[in-house]
Structure formats: C-alpha cells, structure tokens
Amino acid sequence: MFEESLAPKAAATKNLDQISCKLCPNLKHFVVFSSFSCGRGNAGQSNYGLGNSIMERIIEERRELGLPAKAIQWAAVGDVGLLADFQLNNLDKDFKGTLPQAISSCLEVLDVLMTSDDAIVSSMVVADKTMNDVKKGNIIDMILKIMGIRDRKSISMDSTLTQLGIDSLMGVEIQQILERDFDIALTSQELRSLTLSQLEKRAISKGENSDNVQENRTATEAQWMKLLIDGVIDKETKELYTSETIVKANEIEMNENTKVLIIPGFYGAAADIYRILAKEMDKPAYILQLIETSECESIDNIIEIIEPKILNLFSDCDNFVLIAHSFGSILSLKIANILENKGMKGNVIQLDGSPQFINKFALKMSPDKSSEKIKAAISMILFDGFLPYVDQLVAKAAFQENENWEDKVEAMLKASTDKIPYPFDFIKRNIFTALVNRFNIVLSLNEESFDSLKCTKISLIKATKSSVNGLQKDYGLLKYSNEQVRIQTLEGDHVTIITNPKLINLIKNILV
C-alpha cells in the first residue's frame, strides 16, 4: 500500500539522518527535496504527501538539535516528470495556482533557498490570474456539479435554481460555497429565486470589489515602513518635525475631562497615519513618540522614561483613552495600570495588537531569537524599504563587504545618503537600533507579566488579513480585563487598517 511511496522519502531520510550523525558529525549541509503540494494537499496523492511531511518533520527535528537541515518544497517542474508528460506542449498551463517551473529557474533560485535561515522553504511560479477570471468561469460549474447537471449547454443561463430542481441539501451546500469561496451571502429564498446569469454577475462584481480592497488594504513590509515613518521627517531639511515624547495632534479643547493618547507601533513615531487618525477624534488627542527610548532594552526601561510625561499629560483628567497599535499594545496595558492607580478610569483600544499577538508576530519575522538573526531580519526590512532610493549594486556590495549587520546597514546608508530622504542618524538609531531592541523585548515577552486592569475597558479591532496564525479570538486580552473584551474586525492588514476610513467610526462607537 503506502510503503512504496514512503520508502524513498520518509525511510530514506530517516536512515540518512541517523547514519550521517554517526559518520559525518561535521556535516555542513543536509538537504532534502520535498513538494509544494505537501503542505497544501493534492487529490490522489495522500501517501506522497505523507512521505514528504514525515521528511520535513525530520528536518525540523534536526534544526532543533542544532544540526544542518533544509527541506525545499518544489512546485511542478515543467521539463521532466509526470507534469511534463501530461502537459506535452502546453507548458503555460495553470496547475494548482502555479505554472511549471523550468529546471534552469530551479537552479537560479537554489542559492537563495540554501542561504535562507528557514528550515523549510518553497519555490514556485505563481500563475497570473484575476478574481474575475476565476469566479466567472467557476461559479456556474460548481453549482451545476452540485446539482448533477453535466452538460452546461443543456440549460439556460436565465433559469432559476428552482427551475433547475434545487433541493434543500443542494441549497445548503451551494450557500456554503458561495459564502466561503466567493464572499456572497444569500438566504435560501434569495438563492432559489436568482438565475444562473444573475449569480455569475454577482460573482464578477464581488471579484472586482475584492480586487480593489486587496490592492488598497494590504501592503508589503517595505510599504509598512513607509507608512509608519512618513510625516516624521521634514524631507527638505532632513530633520525631525518634533522629538517631543508627547505630541499634540489636534485642536480640540478639553471636554468630559478626557484625553486620547495614540501609541504607535514598533517605529514609535508620530507618523502621518497616526496624525490623521488623531485629527478625526472629537476629544483632545496626542501621540506618544518613543524617540528617546530607542536604546531601551526592556518594557520597564521604556516605561521609566515615559511615565512622568504621561502622568503630566493626564494630570487634569478623570478619564483616559489609549489607542494602541502593534508594539504599542504592550505599552498601553502598562500605562493603563499606572493611570488606574492614580484613580482614573478609561478605555484601551487595541489596533491589531496584544502581548500574545506581538510575540507571535516577532517570532514569525525572526524565528531564531539570537541577536544576529534579529539584526539580519531588521536589516532586510530596511534594505527592502530603502530599495527605491538605493542603487542595488551599491547595496549588494555594502552587504557583502561587511561582516556584522550594523556595518552592512551603515555602509548601505552612507553609500546612498544623498538619495535617502531620511537622516542617517535617525535611521541608524531610531529605526535600526530601536527595532532590534523592541524585537528583542517582544521575543522574550512573558504574557503573564501584565497586571489585570480593574476598571478599564479593553476593545480589540482586528485586521481581516491576519499577520500571524494560532491566535485566540480575543488575542489573549481577556486575561487582562475584568470585563468582556469587545471585538471588531476591519478590512486591511496589520498596518493598513489604520488608513481605513471606517476605523474612526468604529472607535467612536466603542467610546459612546
């Protein structure tokens, strides 16, 4: 049965692992070839997937033991094998969302995969497709398949599903598929009354809207960096607009004895996206800048520096509102506790953040907690973020000619200092050093180190496009509150939800 599939994958890898540990203790590389389908599944290849999966688990176990280990998940290769025989001359055929990869392409990417820090890596050529193409062609085929209608030409597109003989079980299955795969929610009555043509039009319309949302509400890490520091530096003078820790961000005078403090994420700067949010508030709004805490290596160090200024800000208040994003979420819980101890009441609104979330987020960015690996991860973010301003050959030379990551970044920045619209010292101290320290903080974070808030209400606004997996529904925030955590979801990713115009209304509704 399955022995034939497992032998060349699982059994062979297990034997090589055991024998190499005895005979080759100083082995430099231990590489196995897995399949792109392993982590995603492929009908009719369960045994093959199992063999690859066992092989990858052996690789992960070796990595945990400090042994060399790498598994490369290859997608379909077009030059040889079953797919080549199947496709013949049609080598641009979409297979499971990917196109066949040429062997020459595999060889080109091999160096990148081998030098990656991850134990399991993938290589694939993603098929170019739009939601409209997928949905227009498939929604009708799916419905007809469920209803047992084989010949599409035998029915009219103007027929309703009732006329085609839909029953209750078919209806439930079609409703589930429409909602799950096409984001179309219909009641049973609506479903029965719609024609196939009307359903197809809805799918096309939904696909166009989804494409626009995806384009506007998601961003790369490089784009995140731009969003999170734009408006902090005067690009003409290359100087900070303000280095103040507490920045007044709107013109609203005191009302209801309440002030709002917005606490930014890892970059800790009063960027435009936070200023725009503050201007929409109907209460006096301020932004907490972490400029002077760049060298801090613990939460307590940061709190020690900012606490006097926060107490001064809220000295004439009975109530407080803390709106915290990303890294700011862990500071907000500490700050709320301080303000509670001064007799104040308030609200903490977490924008896609919590101790649990931010720890997993940092682990995803840098699974290896060593200082060098963290610096490497931050360096690559900076490299990607400043790529539009940097000559790639100059940057590559800077990275190759220097040993440690601080020198790599410094060489890259100095080589392009006249093109990058941010001052050298700001990037080195307030971005590179600050990010390295803050990643270190959250990677060693203990979720239990935060006191439960006595009377402060906690709300969570989550992004629809989650940056990490394995989170509790409330991001683990309930343990810090004596009340139920109010949860809302907003279109966007970890950063772009702040640019979503619906955010301010969600916040105002929470504060009613």
Which residue ranges form the domains of the chain, and what is each CATH number?
Answer: 3-126 (3.40.50.720), 131-217 (1.10.1200.10), 219-512 (3.40.50.1820)
pLDDT at residue 84, as a whole number: 46
For residue 261, the cross-strand partners are 286, 322
For residue 507, the cross-strand partners are none
pLDDT at residue 188, as a whole number: 75
For residue 83, the cross-strand partners are none
| CA-CA-CA-CA dihedral for 211, 212, 216, 219, to nearest 10 | 10
Edge-to-edge strand ranges of the sheet holding 31-35? 31-35, 70-74, 120-123
pLDDT tens figures, 63-79? 999 899 999 998 877 66
pLDDT tens figures, 164-194? 888 777 877 787 777 766 777 777 777 888 8
Closest CA to 29 of 68, 83, 87, 85: 68
Considering the entire predicted model, what is its pTM?
0.58
How close are the terminal C-alpha atoms of the chain, in Å? 64
Q: How far is CA 148 from the centre of its chain?
A: 40
Closest CA to 371 of 328, 425, 427, 432: 432
Per residue, the 3-state secondary structure of 351-383, as one string, reads ECCCHHHHHHHHHHHCCCCCHHHHHHHHHHHHH
Token pair, residue 3, equals 């022995």
pLDDT at residue 43, as a whole number: 57
CA 384/CA 378 separation, integer angstroms: 10
* pLDDT averages per 10-residue partition of the chain, 512 residues: 80 94 91 84 74 93 93 80 43 56 83 89 70 52 82 82 81 76 75 82 62 44 74 77 91 85 94 92 95 94 97 95 96 97 96 94 81 79 69 69 80 75 82 91 91 94 87 93 92 90 93 86
pLDDT at residue 144, as a whole number: 85
Eight-state DSSP code of residue 432:
I
Looking up tokens 């520091």, which residue turns up?
Answer: 229
